[in-house]
């Protein structure tokens, strides 16, 4: 059953525990949304310019991975990492060509592997780490809290797309 409370956790500092609660709630709702999908559902294209549910799921994992690298390692992804995640990060034509013919377990495993690393790393961080200020190019400020807010914000956005695709599938 999905828990509809944002709460603290003894495993994490106070604010990070709340953030983890939001990340985990977001993921639980996403998993509930996709748990009965077939490979055909995951590969369905609404039109030639759309993304599949499968590609959206790997995109969710890729965004979380990139935010791990940026926030935990203080760097951008390297060439090897980009090669692995590029289609998922960019979506579009390359994703339509490369991300297909996988069953639901594949996507669940990818999401779980990335999330496991996130939780391991967040256990080692403090609330002060969340608020550490850094700067993008051209002096635009950001902090780690924003980066991790963006992870679940992005997932929620793409879950909306997944729901729209599922409605179209139900009509066919």
Q: Is this prediction's pTM over 0.85? A: yes
For residue range 4-40, list pLDDT tens digits in order: 889 988 899 999 999 999 999 999 999 999 999 999 9
Q: Which residues in the chain land under pLDDT 70?
A: none
pLDDT of amino acid 98: 96
Whole-number Å distance between alpha carbons of 58 and 168: 21
- Please return the burial class of 99, using the count of CB atoms within 10 Å of its CB with bins 0-12, 13-18 and 19+: buried
Answer whether 150's CB lies under 8 Å from 67's CB: yes
């Amino acid at each position: 059953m999905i828990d509809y409370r944002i709460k603290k956790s003894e495993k994490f500092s106070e604010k990070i525990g709340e953030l983890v609660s939001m990340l985990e709630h977001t993921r639980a709702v996403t998993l509930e949304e996709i748990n009965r999908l077939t490979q055909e559902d995951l590969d369905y294209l609404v039109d030639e310019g759309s993304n599949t549910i499968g590609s959206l799921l790997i995109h969710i994992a890729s965004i979380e991975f990139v935010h791990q690298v940026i926030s935990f390692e203080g760097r951008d992804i390297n060439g090897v990492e980009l090669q692995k995640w590029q289609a998922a990060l960019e979506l579009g034509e390359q994703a339509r060509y490369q991300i297909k013919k996988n069953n639901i377990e594949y996507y669940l495993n990818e999401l779980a592997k990335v999330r496991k690393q996130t939780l391991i790393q967040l256990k080692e961080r403090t609330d002060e780490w969340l608020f550490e200020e850094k700067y993008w190019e051209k002096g635009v400020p950001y902090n780690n809290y924003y980066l991790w807010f963006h992870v679940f914000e992005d997932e929620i956005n793409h879950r909306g797309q997944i729901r729209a695709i599922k409605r179209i599938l139900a009509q066919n």
